């Protein structure tokens, strides 16, 4: 950045600016207008709006539209399954120039080391990566995570420039009932932002949760839930991820009066959705198509997030802000033609055109450590005639509880593909303890084989669903051999796999390569009868014991609403 007096002189027109964007239709999220203008850029800042600037370089944009760089208000970059430099090369050409990341996933595997890894790899990319500190490592005491971070462990991070506050407080029972560690984390973060995670929390429970100082929530799936949170002072982050798509359900609540309290986020988004649909740009376009005022839609992806998080030089095209600008064809197609980051063109027509950052490679230890398997660990002795079954809800991570007749084969519980009821297991992978949670799930549609993953939110133990013991064992051992990843097995053969050696969550390969392997995995699952659009995303959330109703961890079957273990057999 140039000295302040040079910036002032450039803004005052006393010498030529570095770059002038001429003949744009400026989407002004401050005044709510769209009008013709020129944008003067000097060094990395916007220094003026108007047609009276001389410039060293001029780009005539011939009536294209200019919007502020888009901001993803809440994202787990680990869910893209690539490291930050590869993630940036995917989302920056789509107009996303800033993200607020919660490294909750890698922290549950590798603790402090994982958070530092993400911060190191966030440097030198044309993407602002701000961080919210993981508040729940582990998410609950109902599972085995790879680390434990208490308030005094995360406190040093709060002093860092790119850390904005405390990430989603998932342990809402801990807040409501005064868990000392949860409250300590809230107390040390009181001067910064505290994000929420309160699916289905309502009434006095919600009042207590908000009174603790928690300011936002991204877990609303229905209009009534989102409105209650808005009415009681929360910022509502409208989410469009891969496993959970809430955008269309929540667009009807947005009005000119409340839109300033609404933000856009992706939370967990797989490569194919990013590459095929888009990122925050897809959410804005969908909102405009629905009928939301275009300026309001853009504002929810820019200024609202910037103001909520206190990002004073982002979120609007105005003098003094960083020159993070998205050039669009029009407000109907909403095609991103060009992206500028800090005044430099970094993408054109959906392609990154910047040189990848050069940095020393950071090595992480192996994170997949399971106890030796003999092969009989996936048998479930029959102890009754009826069982609890986790029932999937399509395109959601909340589940139902189904109680139904058990299928017994001799003395053991068997999968029942005719009724679409399959055995589900969670294998502890951090300490080789031998813990294996055992349950049943309905909704995958598998007729044969098995599928396994080391992505199992939030503790990321190995989760596997399948029809028979041999294929279940084969899929789990393949994940173990790869040091983390995803696998589909049939007849004791691996049909498709994806290696994720970084914490069992990410690859260093380009996102296009990861996507190709994901397509092969999903195709293999469909060959086995799976009916889900993204089966591995659905699988990964079945181990998350903070999302109702019924979930499975390495320690057993969890009734999330009661926050306690329940027996598989009824």
pLDDT band at residue 120, thresholds of 50, 70 and 90?
A: very high
Local confidence band at 546 (pLDDT 50, 70, 90 cut-offs): confident
Q: What angle do CA 112, 505, 552 make, to 5 degrees?
A: 95
Instruction: Please state the rounded mean pLDDT for residues 163-175.
Output: 92
Dump strand ranges (E) for 396-501: 399-405, 408-409, 412-413, 421-427, 436-442, 450-453, 462-466, 485-490, 493-499
507 CB-near residues (< 8 Å, 6+ apart): 81, 82, 83, 498, 499, 500, 501, 513, 514
* C-beta separation of 297 from 339 below 8 A: no
Tell me what the mean pLDDT of segment 364-380 comes to.
90
Both tokens assigned to 510: 């380009």
Mean pLDDT of 147-154: 93
pLDDT (tens digit per residue) in 251-294: 999 999 999 999 999 999 999 999 999 999 999 999 999 999 99
Per-residue pLDDT at 243: 78
Distance of CA 287 to the CA centre of its chain: 20
Q: Return all residues near 257 (Cβ < 8 A) that are at least 6 apart.
A: none
Is the predicted pLDDT of residue 358 greater than 80, yes or no? no
User: How high is the pLDDT of residue 44?
Assistant: 96
Mean pLDDT rounded to a whole number for the chain = 95
> In the chain, where are the structural domains located?
69-315, 386-566
How many helices (H) and strands (E) the chain has is answered by 16, 30
φ/ψ (deg, to 5) at 135: -95, -15
* pLDDT band for position 547 (cuts 50, 70, 90): confident
Does residue 363 have a pLDDT over 80?
no
CA distance 96 to 282: 11
- Mean pLDDT value of segment 107-120: 94
Angle between the N-to-C axes of helices 84-91 and 104-121, in degrees from 0 to 180, rounded to the nearest 10: 80
pLDDT reported for residue 366 = 87
Q: What is the mean pLDDT of residues 299-326?
A: 98
Task: Give me the mean pLDDT over the 461-483 stretch.
Answer: 97
End-to-end CA gap in the chain: 66
Q: 316-325, pLDDT tens digit by residue?
A: 999 999 999 9
Q: State pLDDT tens for residues 483-504.
A: 999 999 999 999 999 999 999 9
Query: Dihedral of the CA atoms 270, 367, 103, 179 (nearest 10)?
Result: 120
| Closest among 452, 395, 397, 398 to 422, alpha carbons compared | 452
Comparing 217 with 171, which gets the higher pLDDT? 217
HSE (side-chain half, CA atoms, 13 Å) at 114? 27
Residue 438 has pLDDT above 90, yes or no: yes
Whole-number pLDDT of residue 463: 98
Domain 69-315, CATH number (from 1.10.150.120, 3.40.718.10, 3.20.20.140, 3.40.50.2000): 3.20.20.140
- The two three-digit tokens of residue 566, written as one number: 């329940």
Q: Among all chains, which residue has been given the structure tokens 């007096």?
A: 5
Q: What is the spatial distance between Cα 175 and Cα 154, in angstroms, rounded to a whole number?
A: 18
Identify the bridge partners of residue 48 per DSSP, sorted by sequence position: 40
Residue 141 has pLDDT above 90, yes or no: no
Whether residue 446 has pLDDT greater than 90: yes
Closest CA to 399 of 437, 443, 438, 436: 443
If pLDDT is split at 50, 70 and 90, which confidence band does 360 have? low
What average pLDDT does this structure show over 213-233?
A: 96
pLDDT of amino acid 534: 87
- Closest of 413, 416, 412, 390 to residue 556, by C-alpha: 390
Closest residue by Cα to residue 399 from 409, 407, 391: 391
pLDDT of residue 396: 81
């Amino acid at each position: 950045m140039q000295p302040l007096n040079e910036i002032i002189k450039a803004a005052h027109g006393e010498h030529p600016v570095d770059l002038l964007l001429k003949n744009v239709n400026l989407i002004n999220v401050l005044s709510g207008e769209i009008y013709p203008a020129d944008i003067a850029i000097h060094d990395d800042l916007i220094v003026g709006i108007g047609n009276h600037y001389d410039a060293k370089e001029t780009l005539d944009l011939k009536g294209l539209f200019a919007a502020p760089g888009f901001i993803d208000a809440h994202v787990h970059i680990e869910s893209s399954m690539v490291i930050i430099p590869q993630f940036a090369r995917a989302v920056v050409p789509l107009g996303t120039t800033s993200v607020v990341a919660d490294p909750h996933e890698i922290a549950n595997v590798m603790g402090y080391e994982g958070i530092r890894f993400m911060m190191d790899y966030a440097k030198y990319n044309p993407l602002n990566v701000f961080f919210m500190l993981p508040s729940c490592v582990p998410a609950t005491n109902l599972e085995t995570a790879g680390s434990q971070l208490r308030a005094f462990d995360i406190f040093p991070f709060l002093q860092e420039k790119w850390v904005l506050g405390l990430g989603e407080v998932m342990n809402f029972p801990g807040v409501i009932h005064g868990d000392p560690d949860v409250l300590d984390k809230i107390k040390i973060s009181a001067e910064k932002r505290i994000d929420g995670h309160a699916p289905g929390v309502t009434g006095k429970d919600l009042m207590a949760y908000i009174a603790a100082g928690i300011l936002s929530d991204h877990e609303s799936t229905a209009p009534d839930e989102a409105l209650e949170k808005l009415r009681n002072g929360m910022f509502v982050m409208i989410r469009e991820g891969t496993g959970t798509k809430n955008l269309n359900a929540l667009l009807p609540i947005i009005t000119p009066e409340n839109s300033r309290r609404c933000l856009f986020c992706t939370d967990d988004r797989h490569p194919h959705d990013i590459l095929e649909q888009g990122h925050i740009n897809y959410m804005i376009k969908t909102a405009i198509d629905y009928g939301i005022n275009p300026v309001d839609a853009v504002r929810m992806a820019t200024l609202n997030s910037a103001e909520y998080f206190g990002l004073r030089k982002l979120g609007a095209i105005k003098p003094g802000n960083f020159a993070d600008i998205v050039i669009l064809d029009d407000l109907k197609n909403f095609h991103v033609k060009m992206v500028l980051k800090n005044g430099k063109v970094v993408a054109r027509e959906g392609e990154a055109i910047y040189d990848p950052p050069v940095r020393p490679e950071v090595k992480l230890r192996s994170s997949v450590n399971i106890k030796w398997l003999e092969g009989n660990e996936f048998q479930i002795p029959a102890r009754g005639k009826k069982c609890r079954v986790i029932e999937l809800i399509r395109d959601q991570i909340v589940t139902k509880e189904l109680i139904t007749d058990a299928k017994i084969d001799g003395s053991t519980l068997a999968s029942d593909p005719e009724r679409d009821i399959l055995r589900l297991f969670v294998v502890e992978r951090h300490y080789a303890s031998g813990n294996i949670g055992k349950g049943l799930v309905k909704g995958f549609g598998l007729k044969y084989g098995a599928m396994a993953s080391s992505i199992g939110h939030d503790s990321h133990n190995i989760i596997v669903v399948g029809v028979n013991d041999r294929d279940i064992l084969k899929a789990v051992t393949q994940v173990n051999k790869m040091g983390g990843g995803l696998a589909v097995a049939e007849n004791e053969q691996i049909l498709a796999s994806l290696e994720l050696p970084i914490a069992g969550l990410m690859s260093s390969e380009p996102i296009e390569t990861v996507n190709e392997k994901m397509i092969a995995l999903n195709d293999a699952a469909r060959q086995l009868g799976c009916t889900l659009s993204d089966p591995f995303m659905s699988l990964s959330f079945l181990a998350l014991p903070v999302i109702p109703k019924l979930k499975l961890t390495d320690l057993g079957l969890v009734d999330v609403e009661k926050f306690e273990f329940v027996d598989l057999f009824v």
